[in-house]
Chains A and B, each alone.
Chain A
Amino acid sequence: MNWPQLIITVITIGSILGVVTLALNLQYARGGMINFGIVAYFAAGAYAYAIATQPAPQGLDQYSFGFDWPWWAGFVAAGFAALVFAVVTGWPTLRLRGEYLALTTFAFAEVFHSFLINERRIGNGTVGLSNLERPVSDWGPIEEKYVFAAAAALLLLVTLIAFRRLLNSPYGRALDAIRDDEIAAAAVAKPVADMRRQVFLISAVPVGFAGALYAMFTTLAQPSLFTAEVTFVVWIALVLGGERPIYGVVLGTLGLVFFEEVVRAWPFETVRSAQIAASVEHVVTGLLFIAVLRLRPFDRISEQLKARA
């Protein structure tokens, strides 16, 4: 097995998904909002990047918009698109509680997914948008994959620092208060609805950036990449990492992606063994969950990190 390649992939994909898990952690563990449609914000970022940077349509292209902007403008557009999507979806839904919000956000993501498939003028339908622009093609002696891994890790780090700073402030304390008891928080003048909306919007922006990075990395924005499965992978990572500690969230995501990538990269001798491995993967994933939930390794590591800090 090609370990260095595997590690680079884990860092890249793990960091990109880690940003999404962090956003989910902010929304759920601190804001008390269950978002089962987080993939839609990720997709909005990826598609916004694709549309902003791709050339105008020609020949057989079915899409109608291509602005041919530079990569950085596409990156900014991705964050903005996720923000706009959060405004549009948050406005009617954030008054809902618990499972109702979960169902509504899930429905929003599904609607968005089928919109991307059926409205070909936006994203070329099921074919998607391909050959997306990458920031640069020549980094001299440094291979491009390292640049992507570093960029993803940097985005994760910046998001982590910004969220941690926010949550360790009185703002985070007020958020905890609102999640614990809205009525009591309002009785000490906390604008409950405004703060929930703020958290929902802030957390969407880095998810949009992560979507753009994912689109650059894969050079593809396609509906099949943004199914509900992404939402559930991120939720699983959140559960694995322990919902509360912010480092645990990151470790949980990296751990989950590592496991998936190892299974994917394993050199199987025969087709039959690969098939067996594919089935066994689900069984092992299940066992792994049970073990992680029982032993809480990421939770503990992050508690130790916190205790030392």
Chain B
Amino acid sequence: MNNNSSALLSVEHVSKRFAGLQAVGGDDGLTFAVDKGAFIGLIGPNGAGKSTTFNLLSGVLATDTGRVCFDGRDITAAQSHKCAACGIGRTFQTPRVFESLSVIDNVLVGADSAGERLLGALGRSWRVRESETIEQARLALERVGLGSYSDDPVTDLSGGELRMLEVARQLVREPKLLLLDEPTAGVHPGLQERLAELLLNLHRSGMTLLVVEHNLRFLLALADRVLVMSQGQLLAEGAPSEIRSNPAVISAYLGDDHAV
């Protein structure tokens, strides 16, 4: 599994402790790989370390041990903005948006405009490409179903819409790997369908997806491989059908009496 030549992301023996408590990685650390173009689901009960894993991969948190490689580069010690610049996009478990900006401006922040550099901003050349960037941002909003809200203040959006806005903000960046943290939580069913369709389209277009989700019906229908985490460690790994019938998963996830 490790050092696989087609792996876009490889995580080797990574661990993280908070105040002495192991959040991610047991005795040997957390190890897994994500192939280029894969659609991976990451599931596990609350407190399994899924979001912490995302924070470690995206540079929000520093790892205690282990190594993270992305696209042929060692990004173990890279800061969050460097990870993003490498091509790792992510959303957050609790949506994080820029509250003073409009919906479209939130998406435009995602696009790396030439006018974002100090000298570039004082010049005029960024204006040439700005209309193109705005067009891309509008398209991204259309794709997540927020097209009609583009000029509204972001504070007018519901919790579910904020999640979709985070997705749109990443879409304009065209990340190589997109980490989605519970994308369906609080999203109404109509928009969920749209999201499922969007994720399948992104998958088909070659984007690599790693999705944390509690809505198993949603995730298992989409992902082509599923990682199951429990207590910071990898409990199981396999195709959705295998995971559904894996007794260890069912027991960790729902208790002994349930089946998925």
Query: Is A187 on the interface with B (CB-CB < 8 A)?
Result: yes
Task: Please pick, from A170, A180, A186, A202, the residue contacting B126 in the complex, using a CB distance under 8 A.
Answer: A170
Task: Please pick, from A162, A176, A183, the residue contacting B100 in the complex, using a CB distance under 8 A.
Answer: A176
CB <8 Å contact, A184 and B98:
yes
CB <8 Å contact, B121 and A189:
no
A208-261: which have CB < 8 Å to B? Answer: none
Query: Is A169 on the interface with B (CB-CB < 8 A)?
Result: yes
Task: Using CB atoms, name the residue of chain A closest to B114.
Answer: A170
CB <8 Å contact, A173 and B108:
yes
Residue interface bits B156-170, CB-to-A below 8 A is 1, else 0:
000000000010011
Are A177 and B98 also in contact (CB < 8 A) when A188-B169, A189-B81, A189-B173 are?
Answer: yes
Q: Which B residues are in CB contact (< 8 Å) with A191?
A: 81
Task: Using CB atoms, name the residue of chain B closest to A180.
Answer: B98
Count of A-B contacts judged by CB separation below 8 Å: 99
CB <8 Å contact, B89 and A187:
yes
CB <8 Å contact, B101 and A170:
no
Q: Which A residues are in CB contact (< 8 Å) with B58?
A: 187
Interface of B is mostly: helix
Residue among A162, A181, A188 having the largest count of chain B Cβ atoms under 10 Å: A188
Q: Which A residues are in CB contact (< 8 Å) with B186?
A: none
Q: Which B residues are in CB contact (< 8 Å) with A180?
A: 97-101
Q: Which B residues are in CB contact (< 8 Å) with A174?
A: 109, 116
CB <8 Å contact, A171 and B117:
yes
| Size category of the binding interface on chain A | 20 to 34
Residue interface bits B89-121, CB-to-A below 8 A is 1, else 0:
110100011111100011011101111111011
Task: Using CB atoms, name the residue of chain B closest to A168.
Answer: B121
Q: Separation in Å of the B107 CB from the closest CB of chain A? A: 10
Task: Using CB atoms, name the residue of chain A closest to B87.
Answer: A189
CB <8 Å contact, B109 and A183:
no
CA A265 to CA B84, docked complex, whole Å? 59
CB <8 Å contact, A166 and B130:
no
B184-200: which have CB < 8 Å to A? Answer: none
Query: Is B122 on the interface with A (CB-CB < 8 A)?
Result: yes
Query: Is A292 on the interface with B (CB-CB < 8 A)?
Result: no
Are A183 and B80 also in contact (CB < 8 A) when A165-B122, A171-B116, A198-B118 are?
Answer: yes
Are A183 and B60 also in contact (CB < 8 A) when A169-B121, A172-B121, A188-B110 are?
Answer: yes
Query: Is A274 on the interface with B (CB-CB < 8 A)?
Result: no
Query: Is A84 on the interface with B (CB-CB < 8 A)?
Result: no
B residues lining the A interface (CB < 8 Å)? 58-60, 79-82, 84-85, 89-90, 92, 96-101, 105-106, 108-110, 112-118, 120-122, 126, 130, 166, 169-170, 173
Residue contacts A-B, CB under 8 angstroms, 8 given: A170-B121, A173-B101, A183-B60, A187-B89, A187-B92, A188-B173, A191-B81, A202-B118
A residues lining the B interface (CB < 8 Å)? 162, 165-166, 169-174, 176-177, 179-181, 183-192, 198, 202
